Amino acid sequence: MSFTVIIPARFQSSRLPGKPLMDIHGYPMIQWTWLQAKKSGAERIIITTESKQVEQACLAFGAEVCLTSDHHQSGTERIAEVIDLLQLDDNEVIVNVQGDEPMLPPELIHQVAQGLANQLNDRGVVAHMATLCEPIEDIDTVFDAHAVKVTRDAHNYAINFSRAALPWARDEFALTDRQMPSNWHYKRHIGLYAYTAGFVKQYVAWPACDLEQVEKLEQLRVLWHGEKILVLDALMDAGIGVDTESDLIKVRQKLSAENFK
């Protein structure tokens, strides 16, 4: 199976400006993410950014970089420009690895690529996009807006994604001390996507939908326009993604210079 990893690395992050270049034990965050992607079995790895500063840092450690516009609203839109600039084949499997995932196991990158490839190899292909999820074990995460919740149907296709507590456990959440429902297992969405290059082109041709804009979740555009997203259970813990300064501190505590190899 052949696939390409594209890593969007936006310097002007609204919550943590300069995030790709933030130091983790002597190396920029984006280099940690790139190194994990290199272990995934991808045929090609491309970092895409709007920042000359990030571009120069990535070139310095040997990465392939594609400089893109600073007007994109999502990582997928940025990837669409890369596909156009590099003239990637419509059938190429693309894995979108967020640049702020320095702990992301390479096994998960391979898993999501393989999951999509299995769909495409099936004559009854339903989804042209795949992603991952993992269990939520505590009630605080259920109500954490930074943790995106996903619900699926009987065939593991997404029903919905939300920053809210999804679904709403009517009885348990009515209590003063909210509890996890015994008959439901909450799932946190892992922001790792696989799709074909041709599907990315279709995605950016669709207008942004109201639900996507209010939740600030780009994958909702796919569901809004009637397409399926395969959501697989991650084979292992995805680690900590960096959205805030607090996340960065946690990642620095979890990782060490010895991990960088």
Could you say which DSSP state residue 238 is in?
-
The pLDDT of residue 17:
86
pLDDT at residue number 257? 64
Provide the pLDDT for residue 72. Answer: 82
Task: Specify the pLDDT at position 165.
Answer: 96
Q: What pTM was estimated for this model as a whole?
A: 0.93
Predicted pLDDT at 74: 84
CB under 8 Å to 220, separation ≥6 — which residues?
161, 209, 211, 212
Residue with tokens 């790895």: 45
How far is Cα 252 from Cα 241, in angstroms, rounded to an integer?
Answer: 12
Tokens at residue 77, please?
């839109």
Residue-wise DSSP of 33-57: HHHHHHTTT-SEEEEEES-HHHHHH
Please tell me the distance from the alpha carbon of residue 63 to that of residue 9, in angstroms, as a whole number.
Answer: 13
**Structure tokens belonging to residue 260:** 């960088």
pLDDT of residue 108: 98
User: Which residues does the chain have with pLDDT short of 70?
Assistant: 257-261
Superfamily (CATH) of domain 3-259: Spore Coat Polysaccharide Biosynthesis Protein SpsA; Chain A (3.90.550.10)
Residue 258: the pLDDT is: 60
Give pLDDT, residue 261: 63
The residues, any chain, with a CB within 8 Å of residue 104's CB and separated by 6 or more, are 33, 36, 97, 192, 238, 239, 241
Between CA 99 and CA 162 the distance in angstroms is 22
pLDDT the model gives residue 130: 98
What residue segments make up the domains of the chain, in order of their start?
Answer: 3-259
The per-residue pLDDT for 69 is 84
Residue 255 has what pLDDT? 86
Quote the CA–CA distance of 16 and 30 in Å, as a whole number.
Answer: 14
